[in-house]
Amino acid sequence: MLNKKARVYFSCFMLILGTLIGFLLSKWSEIGSLGWREPDVITLTVRMPENGSLPSRMIYGKPDIAKAPRRDVMVLSPWLAPIVWAGTFNRDLLMEEFQHKKYRIGLTVTAIGKYVKLLKKFLESTERYFMKGGMVTYYVFTDRPDKVKALSLEVNRPLKIITVPKYPTWGHVVLGRMEILKNQSEVLFQQEVDYVVSLDVDMVLFSHIGVEILGELVSVIHPGYYHSPRKDLPYERRPASQAFIPEDEGDFYYQANFFVGTVQRIYQLATACYEGIVKDKANDIQAVVYEESHFNKYLVYNKPTKLLSPEYIWMNNLWRLKDIRIKRIVHGEKKF
């Protein structure tokens, strides 16, 4: 008797429980479907590759999430910008993306006065090692276009000579470069290129420099200071200068003889540096490392989106530490 009553109660209980679960499930799926419903209007602006075909097969070893690319050096800045070192990237993989999007690259180089003589060696090395297979245009800023033409440079990529004023001193030359970059970004670069790469003429490339250097705003960590504490970085420390950086600020010391960016970002960088230089001039002060001081100031407050390790500008007079596995570019070999 008791058993039968218990069975009835149990059946009733199960019936109610089942109804409840069914109700909850239906509500849950409603909520679920609401959450996952596609928005009614989708507006996407995606730059499609010019040739609509899919990328070819890409075969390479799978990245291992438990394996850091390098353990001896920082490969990601505290603001999440990658730091490019040998052993941290696969150039073939990067190249695939690059060729698909057909980026146009402008390589600018300043060859003023007797520095014109260094142009031949510089361009021989860029022909060999710079952006193989990329769409590159050389822009030579010079005050001696005839001397540049007389070099009969043999290059396989377009070369444009841009005449700049004859500056009285070397100080004026380096200060004037930001003005030229600013002007040419407005005039030429925004029509002709996607990325600007600015290099100095006293550099020689020794190894391939490829698409790994491209980014919105890219700067190179100076090889002479990359292990230095902040207090030893040669920032401008006088508040009177526009390039002033307080003692407790700054990340790395960057070298101004190699930087990369989109035309927009290079324009902003060059304009800021140029304006700082003009203000300093009006106040009769010259920043401690000329334009490089202004360049460093700008990058403290406008962080680079990618950093290149000192492999990208080495100097032979520096004691080479074991973290430098490869010297890609060497500068400062001024042999006239």
Return the active site residues.
292
Distances 64 to 61, 68, 82, 90, 247 between C-alpha atoms, Å: 9, 8, 18, 14, 40
**Is residue 115 marked as binding?**
yes
DSSP category for residue 186 = I
User: Binding mask 94-133 vs ligand NAG (x if CB under 6 A, - otherwise)?
Assistant: ----------------------------------------
- Which of 83, 140, 164, 277 is the binder for ligand NAG (CB under 6 A)? 164
Residue 52 or 78 having the CB closest to ligand NAG: 52
Q: Measure the CA–CA gap between 295 and 159, rounded to whole angstroms.
A: 27
291 scored as a contact of ligand NAG (CB under 6 A): no
Least distance in angstroms from the C-beta of 262 to ligand NAG: 21
Among 107, 109, 111, 180, binds ligand NAG (CB under 6 A): 180
Residues 22-61 that bind ligand NAG (CB under 6 A): 51-53
In this structure, what token pair is assigned to residue 257? 């003889």
The nearest distance, CB 187 to ligand NAG, in angstroms, is: 9
Q: Is 81 in the site for ligand NAG (CB under 6 A)?
A: no
Contact between 266 and 189 under an 8 Å Cβ cutoff? The reply is: yes
Q: How far is the CB of 117 from ligand NAG (least distance, A)?
A: 22
Q: Which residue has the tokens 């679960």?
A: 21
What H or E segment, with its residue span, contains residue 33? helix 2-36
201: annotated binding-site residue? yes
CB atoms near residue 8 (< 10 Å): 10
| Helix or strand holding residue 97 (H, E) | helix 91-101
Could you tell me which residues come within 8 angstroms of residue 175 by beta carbon, excluding any fewer than 6 positions away?
Answer: 277, 290, 291
CA distance 271 to 182: 6
Choice between 18 and 55, CB closer to ligand NAG = 55
209 exposure class (CB count in 10 Å sphere: 0-12, 13-18, 19+)? buried
DSSP category for residue 143: S
Nearer to ligand NAG, 96 or 216 (CB): 96
Considering only residues 87, 165, 171, 246, which one is a binding residue for ligand NAG as defined by CB under 6 A?
Answer: 165
179 binds ligand NAG (CB under 6 A): yes
Q: Helix, strand, or coil here: 132?
A: coil
With CB under 6 A as the rule, give the number of residues binding ligand NAG. 9
User: Whole-number minimum distance, CB 52 to ligand NAG, in Å?
Assistant: 6
Q: Closest separation between CB of residue 182 and ligand NAG, Å?
A: 7
In whole angstroms, what is the distance from residue 323 CA to residue 88 CA? 13
Q: Which residues bind ligand NAG (CB under 6 A)?
A: 51-53, 164-165, 176, 179-180, 183
Can you say which residues are annotated as belonging to the binding site for UDP-N-acetyl-alpha-D-galactosamine? Answer: 115, 200-202
Can you say which residues are annotated as belonging to the binding site for Mn(2+)? Answer: 200, 202
